[in-house]
Amino acid sequence: MADYKLTELMTIRAAKEIADGEVVFIGVGLPIMVAAYAFATHAPNMIMLTEGGAIRATPPQALAITVDDPAAFLGGDATFGMLATMAALQRGEVDLAFLGAAQIDKYGNLNSTGAGDWSKKESFTYFAGSGGANDMATSGKRTVTIIPQDKKKFVETCEYITTPGYLTGPGAREALGMQGGGPDCVISTMGVYRFDEDTKEMYLAEFFPGQSVEKIRAACAWDLKVSPNVVETTVPTEEDLKILRSLDPTGFYLG
Amino acid sequence: MDVDKRMSLKDAVAKFIHDGDVVYYGGFQIMVPMALTHEIIRQKKRHLTTIESSTDVGGLDLMVGAGCVSQIHSAWIMNWYVKAPYAVRRAFNNGHLKRYDISNFGATTAMMAGFMGVPFMPILGNIGSDMQKHNTTDLRVIEDPFTGNKVNVVRAWRADVAIIHAQKADRLGNVISYGTRGVTDEFGANGAKRGVIVTAEEIVEPEVTRTDPDRVIVPYFKTLAVVHCPYGAHPSACRGYYGLDIRFSQYQGKYERYEELLPHFLDEWVYGCKDQEAYIEKYKSKFGQAGLDLLKPKLGFAPSPKLGVDYGYHDPTCWKGVPLYTDDRLKAFEEALAAKGGK
């Protein structure tokens, strides 16, 4: 069996969520590697949009470390500002958006604003804020969230809803007129999650090698449901890893 | 009319930024107006309100930590290289700072409405979020007069004065920016009521500007002051001139993190430097010319011969093996912290 890092497993697994030809909105961090890997393997015809305004039919030729890094634009197809790529979201043209957050709850709502009760100002711990995540989750056709997992991050209800998942459950997004379909998949440091079509609740679909359903349930603050068909995530092959590592030769993202 | 708007950093800030102003804060993860940030801190401007969509490398965090800002309208404030906006967090906890949260596109749309001179504009995002619940200053739901459906709207944002960094400007005030055009600089800057202060890596003749007017993002009549200011966005990047200084952002970020350390950073790097030239000299004396050399971009991409435009890009693999920047004070602080069991 090939020897791989957790970041490598997560990147390769996340890339499988991209179908060839899709319009994919890429944020800062690991999603840049996810997109580069998808381009290099099964999705050569994907269209990559970044928050900084790059529109690309090919992966960045150099490692981009911010969404408005010149490397994200080098050899790209079009250079716009944030207006053009985020307007494409509002027009309903984005198939898939990758998100990150500090907290996620059972309906896939995300918190990237802060910990605690916002109205108790003396004790609220501010994070960076929404950035474009809220816009991507409201209007993207579907979203994939990549997030580290522990009991403080996987909570029953987010302390602050920065970015809507299914909000309070079935029908909540529709009642507010949101055009985007909502969360489709969550990839944590322990496994892969989907959402129940009827209840809109997140459930465990795959566990990573070395993890177990019990360990994962113990790292989740609500009574996590588990798919009857839960499976172990397929491990990357030597070939998969060779391709991925060639995209990040110094381990800037993958470690 | 040939009005020469060139002036010193000091004069530009003294003349055009007043206590209580609403300031558009330019850039995003790159092109952050850091030299202007330092000068605003030096001149102890107070009670500023800032508007922008997202801002990195801790420029706004420093300005908040120095007590210049009392209100922020923003989607994202960060020093990515220490993973949090520490001074902003403390100021919010102390009650010294009001924060009005909104999504990136919400902020962009607010500034586009300001740019267009209309009172508000519809926006799809933010609805159903706690930003909508807590920030009714900027976000409201109204009835769409055409369909009767509910629609989320954002109030127009207009600054009194905008501060931005660009690659080039001419003496008249035409601002030349390329590569990506910032995120919202066109809207935030042109929407400013009194006008724009720009720092630029280079000053060109107006005749040169006119060979490629496509690249002008702020026309001269909107510009109040032009400041020639190499490295004016450091430690953020300026396309074609220098890449992001990750090591310095990490170093600065450690000072931002602790309330008792931050004043030392301000004393050494802001109050202790009379202008941006002095700041860069200080950098060279502390971290060497080698630190600046690491930031050199790879040029040769999409050159426009007449304007001398070269987007360039910076290869971040250069940071591999480069040790973290530190100094005796930071080392002593971290050792004391570790001895107490902190991290």
- Pick the closest to residue B24 from B137, B142, B110 (CA basis): B110
A81 inside 8 A of chain B by CB = yes
B80, A66: Cβ pair inside 8 Å?
yes
- The whole-model pTM stands at 0.95
Q: Predicted ipTM? A: 0.94
Distance separating alpha carbons of residues A35 and A25, to the nearest angstrom: 9
Q: Are B192 and B173 in contact (CB under 8 A)?
A: no
- B144-157 pLDDT tens trace: 999 999 999 999 99
Residue B292: its pLDDT value, please? 96
CA-to-CA separations, B281 to B9, B38, B238, in angstroms, rounded: 16, 15, 19
Tell me the average pLDDT across A114-131.
96
Task: Return the higher-pLDDT residue of B328 and B302.
Answer: B328
Q: For residue A84, is pLDDT > 80?
A: yes
Helix, strand and coil percent figures for chain B, each rounded to 5: 35, 20, 45
Model confidence at B183, pLDDT cuts 50, 70, 90, reads low
A194-248 pLDDT, tens digit each: 999 999 999 999 999 999 999 999 999 999 999 999 999 999 999 999 999 999 9
Query: A49, A56, A66, A245: best mutation site toward chain B, by most B Cβ within 10 Å?
Result: A66
DSSP result, A139-183 = HSSEEEEEE--STTTB-SS-SS-SB-SSTTSTTHHHHTT--S--E
Active site residue A51: yes
**Position B310 confidence tier, pLDDT thresholds 50, 70, 90:** confident
Mean local confidence (pLDDT), B177-192 = 82
Chain A residues with CB-CB distance to B127 below 8 A = 138, 164, 176-178
The pLDDT score that the predictor gives to residue B185 is: 87
Cβ-count burial of B255 within 10 angstroms (0-12 exposed, 13-18 middle, 19+ buried)?
Answer: buried
| Among B70, B130, B301, B314, the residue to mutate for chain A (most A Cβ within 10 A) | B130
Q: Give the 3-state secondary structure of residue B137.
A: coil
Could you tell me whether strands A78-79 and A96-99 are parallel, antiparallel, or unpaired per DSSP bridges?
unpaired
Using DSSP, state whether A193 is helix, strand or coil. Answer: strand
Rg (CA), chain A: 18
β-partners of residue A99 are A145
Sequence-distant (6+) residues with CB within 8 A of A91 are none
Q: Does position B280 have pLDDT exceeding 90, yes or no?
A: yes
Query: Would the pLDDT of B302 be above 90?
Result: no
Question: Where does the pLDDT of residue A51 fall: very low under 50, low under 70, confident under 90, or very high at 90 and above?
Answer: confident
* Plot region of B41 (φ>0 → left; ψ -120 to 50 → alpha; else → beta): alpha
Confidence (pLDDT) at B182: 55
Give me the catalytic one of A8, A17, A22, A51: A51
Mean pLDDT of A123-150: 96
Please judge whether B183 and A52 are an interchain contact, meaning their C-beta atoms are less than 8 angstroms apart.
yes
Average pLDDT rounded to a whole number, residues A20-43? 92
